[in-house]
Amino acid sequence: MYGVIAEVCTKESCPTMSGGSKYEYLWQDGADYKKPTRIAAPDYMMLLMDWIELRINDENIFPTSTNIPFPKDFRQICKKILTRLFRVFVHVYIHHFDRLIDIGAVRQV
């Protein structure tokens, strides 16, 4: 979904990752960003995709062998991933809906 509006969602147009005027999403990953940090929307989305990819490729979280159990906190990990992905949807829908209309992508949303 972000790829559809990437050219209009820039650091200049979206200096913060937000879902309207009431919600600002801060980035924290426990590694490079130990504390919740305000960053531009495109940076948030790129960090998010990298963060998700690390988790999906982690055999301890998403085992590829059927004889290896999922971790006890698997649901919590998935919930965190989906919560952060939903923030991207909210940002795109609220801040770039006009672009979705322009390119005829509203039906897919």
Could you read off the pLDDT of 22-78 as tens digits, one per residue? 999 999 999 999 999 999 999 999 999 999 999 999 999 999 999 999 999 999 999
Q: Across the strands, what pairs with 37? A: 27
Range of the domain at 52: 2-108
Nearest to 55 by CA among 32, 79, 37, 38: 79
The answer to whether 96 and 102 are in contact (CB under 8 A) is no
Q: What is the CATH number of the domain that holds 60?
A: 1.20.140.30
Q: Which pLDDT belongs to residue 97?
A: 84
Name the binding residues.
9, 14, 91, 96
- In this prediction, residues 84-103 reach a mean pLDDT of 87
The answer to whether 46 and 14 are in contact (CB under 8 A) is no
Name the binding residues for Zn(2+).
9, 14, 91, 96
Q: Which pLDDT belongs to residue 33?
A: 96
Residue length of the chain: 109
> What is the reported pTM?
0.86
| Domains: count for the chain | 1
